[in-house]
């Protein structure tokens, strides 16, 4: 059995899913902090 597709799938998920979560965390954090700072400045 060729193991390569299994390895590619596992690494794709292991890198892609935390990568997507990381981007989501950064976007949410920037948006929330910018909104709070904007409101406090008003």
Partner 1 sequence: MATPDLHAYANPLRFRRLAVAFTPWLLLAGLGLLGAGLYAGLFLAPADYLQGESVRIMYVHVPSAWLALGGYLGMAIAALSARIWRHPLADLCVQAIAPIGALFAGICLVTGSIWGRPTWGTWWVWDGRLTSMLLLFLLYLGVIAIIHLHEDRARGHRMAGLLAIIGTINLPIIKFSVEWWNSLHQPASIRLSGSAIHADMLWPLMLAALGFLLLFAAMVLMRMRTLIAGQRAEARARRLAARLG
Summarize as ranges the residues that interact with partner 1 (CB under 8 A).
1, 3-4, 6-7, 9-11, 13-15, 17-18, 21-22, 25-26, 28-29, 32-33, 35-36, 39-40
In angstroms, the CA 4 to CA 23 distance is 28
What is the smallest separation between the CB atom of 1 and partner 1, expressed in angstroms?
Answer: 5
What is the smallest separation between the CB atom of 32 and partner 1, expressed in angstroms?
Answer: 4
What is the smallest separation between the CB atom of 23 and partner 1, expressed in angstroms?
Answer: 10
**Helical spans, DSSP H, in 1-42:** 4-41
C-alpha dihedral sign at 33, 37, 40, 42: negative
How many residues in the chain?
A: 42
């Amino acid at each position: 059995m060729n193991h390569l597709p299994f390895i590619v799938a596992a690494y794709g998920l292991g890198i892609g899913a935390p990568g997507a979560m990381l981007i989501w965390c950064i976007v949410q954090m920037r948006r929330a902090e910018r909104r709070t700072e904007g409101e406090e400045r008003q």
